[in-house]
Amino acid sequence: MRTVIFRTIAPYLSALMVLFSVFVLLRGHNEPGGGFIGGLIAASAFAIYGIACGVAAVRRAIIFHPMSLSAFGLFIAGLSGLPSLFMRQPFMTSQWWYIHIFGVEIPLSTPLIFDVGVYFVVVGAISSIALALEERESD
Amino acid sequence: MEAGLSVLIGLFFAVSVYLLMSRQIVRIMLGIAILGNAVNLLIFTAGRLTREVPPVIPEGAVTPLEQTANPLPQALILTAIVISFSFFAFLLVLAFRSYQELGTDDANEMRVAEPAGEPAPPQGY
Amino acid sequence: MAVLSESVDISNAMIVAPVSPADWLIVAPTVLTILGGAICLMMRKDTAAQPRIGVLFLALLVFATGGLFLHVLDKGVITMVMGRWLPPFGIAFTADLTGAALAFVASLVAFSAGVYGILDVDGSGRRYGFYPFLLLLMTGVCGAFLTGDIFNLYVWFEVLLIASFGLLVLGNEQAQLDGAVKYALLNIIATTLFLLATGLLYGLYGTLNMADIAIKTRQFGIDGPIATIAVLYFLAFAMKAAAFPVNFWLPASYHTPRIVVSAVFAGLLTKVGVYALLRIFVVLMPEARFQLEDLIALVAIATMLTGVFGALAQTDVRRLFGYLVISGIGSMLAGLAIGTTPALAGTIFYAIHSIVVMTALYMAAGVMSAMGGSYSLRELGGLYAASPAFAAVFLVLAFAVAGLPPFSGFWPKVILVEAAITTGHVWIAASILATGLLTSIAVGRVWVFAFWRGGPEGTPDGTAGAGALVAAPGLARPVVWLPLGVLLALVVFMGVVPEPMFQVTGRGATSMVDPIGYVRSVFGDSL
């Protein structure tokens, strides 16, 4: 598997896939996409990087332990349900904020925060499983 | 259309039950994967098959303009797929680890937790 | 997109009534445990801080579920539908008295386990996530007790299951992996069957909201497919609850993990299955319960007897208690088989009693092994001489699990036997009584061998070999008295002052048999 071509291309490919995963995550509210799919794309990017350059390199690159990433996602996904309670609405009712930057209206919302949370949960969980399997292969 | 899918679901169940009765953990896991797919197809069929447009309300309107497909089974299946996918990934790691540790994937030979031929408990002092 | 033009009246699609802060209590158990679990998991390296955070959130959980319980006791069933969508379209959380009471007791048990875990779970166990998984397990348990949507119940079952996998393999020993494989495979098949039945139910009624289903089954009566669905549900939850023909995963796995994990599992997991059976067969489809009555009775009797005979044949204390869990499930199913309101109250009472006493017994087993160095009845001995107080505690728990007065196990058995005799289910009454007798023999033997006998097997009676017993570090320390003491106090309280429990379980059972309050809480008073 570890040919020169693959090892040379893998970092760029992974970087591109992570970028694409963020794009998929953000377009997810009204079009196909979203946190789950974005997370899967990012996790497969890490898996490819791991196959090419070794699991240790991936662990260095993502800095945090995958499970911590997933816990962070769970945390903000849980938090995203709370603001509506303070508006005296049921849990998880979506709240919207419209922010104007350079004349462009950017709709921010709690579903987006929730989706980002899902993204992190999926990235963390799937890449920790993938890395665990890749690690054992080389034993 | 529902009838055709029902036959397919039945086939899936038959295959999965056959695999579930195997002794090899890997086969059992394949059976579980197929069982999950059979159930997903079943939910899809239970929501009735219609050749309608996606349930998206166009700009400016507040209700769908025409009859749309039932989105609920799709949401349910998506949830079920996500859950069964993560379970399957976990099971894969678990089966692999236990194969490494126990040296077998035959359920009959996995007797570490319940050793065969344990003596009866003490009857007196 | 999301902006609705001002002219549209959204009250037909969304809830417009403001939510009072008291209703936050209904989501608080799940939200608190998710947040706490996530924080603990983020700090997985910091093994010193984890128990503090974990126990803090478990204490908050006890307050949240306690508050919810009192709120429901005061106001009746309360409902919150997520995301403002009108029921039956939004996912509803509906807390009735049974669910709230079980959630409260479950979180007390989890809190005790969290404190007990400070001693039992070492650094590597903490790094592998004992506290996060315990908190996430409680998310699943509380979610299952409080949800009002049947698909959501499936999701909570899965949350509970995946957290339990994590707890089960904590430590990565051979026996644990062996037990975990069997536990995981069989439980996944059970939840898939649950999902299958739910899919069929949705195909039949086109709704997943429990209150809505309860209305529709009563409107349309029993039909062919409903019987299939009911049997599938029964099989799925019987597997979850470890009822007789599908109970093999429990004795294969419950003795393998750390003792505190065994304690939590023995207390909570099977009871969630029993709760789901009650919810499905009493609230959702009472007609189907009536049809399956004989089957449930048969399963109940077989479960009671196999459980207790299995317990009699064990040498390992943990496996013995595992079989007692199964035997208790049989008694709970007996109440479901009888089906009258008092019998169901007995089942709920028994479930609460079993949650507390089984956890306490496993915790006691942990202390026994810390003091005696083993879990085997052949090697234990001399514990009475080492600590008479602990011997007394164990005797109380043994009396409670065997159903002897004046402890918590006595009253539910009295209710169940009385209900069985008045409705003519003589066999059920007879097997409950026989099971009680055999259980007292099984736990009595544990007491005689491990406590009364002077030392390991072969020590003659009356020898004071106990002086040689050195209290091992860890569980033999006094901190262990806090969790054990909380559970023991509950056992004694429920036994000596049963009146509040009669009130709560009676009201809980009444509101399940006649779920008008449940339905009104979801759909408003117009129904």
pLDDT tens for C169-180 read 887 788 888 899
Of the partner residues A30, A67, A78, the one whose CB lies closest to the CB of residue C31: A78
Q: Does A67 touch chain B (CB under 8 A)?
A: no
Question: What is the predicted pLDDT for the residue at A1?
Answer: 63
Of the partner residues A36, A126, A136, the one whose CB lies closest to the CB of residue B89: A126
CA distance B92 to chain A (A): 9
Show which of residues 256-285 on chain C sit within 8 Å of chain B, judged by CB atoms.
Answer: 256
Q: In terms of C-beta distances under 8 Å and separation of at least 24 residues, what long-range contacts does B26-32 make, across chains too?
A: B26/B95, B26/B105, B28/B107, B28/C185, B29/B88, B29/B91, B29/B92, B29/B95, B29/C185, B32/B88, B32/B91, B32/C185, B32/C188, B32/C189, B32/C192
Q: Is the pLDDT of residue B96 over 80?
A: yes
In a domain, B20, yes or no: yes
Number of domains in chain B: 1
Of the partner residues B79, B83, B95, the one whose CB lies closest to the CB of residue C181: B95
Question: What is the predicted pLDDT for the residue at A137?
Answer: 57
Neighbors of chain A with 3 or more C-beta pairs under 8 Å: B, C
Q: Is the pLDDT of residue C148 over 80?
A: yes
Sign of CA dihedral C302, C305, C307, C313: negative
Domain encompassing residue B34: 2-51+69-108
Q: Distance from CA of residue C432 to its chain's centroid?
A: 20
Query: How far is Cα C412 from Cα C427, in angstroms, rounded to an integer?
Result: 17
Angle at A132 between CA A126 and CA A134, to 5 degrees: 100
In a domain, B6, yes or no: yes
Over pLDDT 90: what percentage of chain B? Answer: 29
| pLDDT band at residue A62 using 50, 70 and 90 as cut-offs | confident
Residue C50 and residue C37 in contact, taking contact as beta carbons nearer than 8 Å:
no
C195, C202, C246, best to mutate vs chain B, most B CBs in 10 Å: C195
pTM value? 0.92
CA distances to C1, C243, C466 from A31, rounded to whole Å, are 12, 46, 73
Indicate the burial class of A5 (C-beta count within 10 angstroms; 0-12, 13-18, 19 or more). Answer: exposed
**Token output for C408:** 């918590």
Of residues B17 and C405, more confidence is placed in B17
Residue B38 and residue B12 in contact, taking contact as beta carbons nearer than 8 Å:
yes
A31, A131, A133, A139, best to mutate vs chain B, most B CBs in 10 Å: A133
Global ipTM: 0.93
Question: What is the predicted pLDDT for the residue at C461?
Answer: 63
- For tokens 């989105």, name the residue: B71
Express each pLDDT in B98-124 by its tens digit.
Answer: 888 888 888 888 888 888 877 888 877
Q: Is the pLDDT of residue C56 over 90?
A: yes
Question: What is the predicted pLDDT for the residue at C261?
Answer: 93
In a domain, B59, yes or no: no
Question: What is the predicted pLDDT for the residue at A53?
Answer: 86
Map residue A101 onto helix, strand or coil: strand
Question: What is the predicted pLDDT for the residue at C224?
Answer: 66
B2, B43, B100, best to mutate vs chain C, most C CBs in 10 Å: B43
| pLDDT band at residue C50 using 50, 70 and 90 as cut-offs | confident
In a domain, B84, yes or no: yes
Query: What value does the mean pLDDT take over residues C249-274?
Result: 92
| CB–CB contact A71 C42 (8 Å) | yes
User: Which stretch, A55-64, C340-349, C385-394, has highest mean pLDDT?
Assistant: C340-349
Of the partner residues B82, B89, B100, the one whose CB lies closest to the CB of residue A129: B89
| CB–CB contact B82 A132 (8 Å) | no
| pLDDT band at residue C367 using 50, 70 and 90 as cut-offs | confident
Question: What is the predicted pLDDT for the residue at C4?
Answer: 47
Question: What is the predicted pLDDT for the residue at B2?
Answer: 82
Q: Is the pLDDT of residue A110 over 60?
A: yes
**Token output for C16:** 């417009």
Of residues A1 and A73, more confidence is placed in A73
Residues of A in Cβ contact (< 8 Å) with C19: 85, 88-90
Question: What is the predicted pLDDT for the residue at C143?
Answer: 95
Question: What is the predicted pLDDT for the residue at C1?
Answer: 39
In a domain, B24, yes or no: yes
Question: What is the predicted pLDDT for the residue at A100?
Answer: 83
| CB–CB contact B93 A125 (8 Å) | no
Of the partner residues B82, B90, B92, the one whose CB lies closest to the CB of residue A36: B82
Give chain A's count of helices (H) and strands (E): 6, 2
Pairing between β-strand C78-81 and β-strand C92-95 as defined by DSSP bridges: antiparallel
Q: Give the CA count within 13 Å in the CB-facing half-sphere of C50.
A: 29
Of the partner residues C169, C179, C453, the one whose CB lies closest to the CB of residue B113: C179
Indicate the burial class of C123 (C-beta count within 10 angstroms; 0-12, 13-18, 19 or more). Answer: exposed
Query: How far is Cα C291 from Cα C299, in angstroms, rounded to an integer?
Result: 14
Question: What is the predicted pLDDT for the residue at C175?
Answer: 87
| CB–CB contact A71 C132 (8 Å) | yes
**Letter string b/e over residues A40-60, b meaning 16 or more CB atoms within 10 A of that residue's CB:** bbbbbbbbbbbbbbbbeebbe
Which residues does A contribute to its contact with C (CB < 8 Å)?
30, 65, 67-68, 70-72, 74-75, 78-79, 81-82, 84-85, 88-94, 96, 107, 109
Question: What is the predicted pLDDT for the residue at C435?
Answer: 95
Question: What is the predicted pLDDT for the residue at A133?
Answer: 80
Show which of residues 354-413 on chain C sit within 8 Å of chain B, judged by CB atoms.
Answer: 377-378
Residues of B in Cβ contact (< 8 Å) with A126: 86, 89
| CB–CB contact C203 B119 (8 Å) | no
Question: What is the predicted pLDDT for the residue at C2?
Answer: 45
Average pLDDT, chain C: 88
User: Which stretch, B53-62, C124-133, C173-182, has highest mean pLDDT?
Assistant: C173-182
Write down the domain spans for chain C.
Answer: 293-496
Q: Is the pLDDT of residue C5 over 90?
A: no
Of the ranges A20-34, B103-117, C456-470, which one carries the lowest mean pLDDT score? C456-470
In a domain, B12, yes or no: yes
Residues of A in Cβ contact (< 8 Å) with C40: 71
| pLDDT band at residue C3 using 50, 70 and 90 as cut-offs | very low
Q: Is the pLDDT of residue C462 over 90?
A: no
Of the ranges C160-164, C203-207, C331-335, which one carries the lowest mean pLDDT score? C203-207
Question: What is the predicted pLDDT for the residue at C466?
Answer: 46
Q: Does B78 touch chain C (CB under 8 A)?
A: no
In a domain, B94, yes or no: yes
Give the nearest chain C residue to B35 (CA atoms).
C192
| CB–CB contact C377 B122 (8 Å) | yes
Residues of B in Cβ contact (< 8 Å) with C377: 121-122
Of the partner residues C1, C45, C83, the one whose CB lies closest to the CB of residue A90: C83
Closest of A8, C332, C188, C224 to residue B88, by C-alpha: C188
A104 contact partners, CB below 8 Å, separation of at least 6: none
Amino acid at A32: P
Give the nearest chain B residue to C1 (CA atoms).
B59
Query: What value does the mean pLDDT take over residues C218-239?
Result: 86
In a domain, B46, yes or no: yes
Of the ranges A62-66, C121-125, C203-207, C334-338, which one carries the lowest mean pLDDT score? C121-125
| pLDDT band at residue B34 using 50, 70 and 90 as cut-offs | very high
Indicate the burial class of C489 (C-beta count within 10 angstroms; 0-12, 13-18, 19 or more). Answer: exposed
Over pLDDT 70: what percentage of chain C? Answer: 93
Of the partner residues C34, C80, C129, the one whose CB lies closest to the CB of residue A78: C34
Express each pLDDT in B84-95 by its tens digit.
Answer: 888 888 888 888
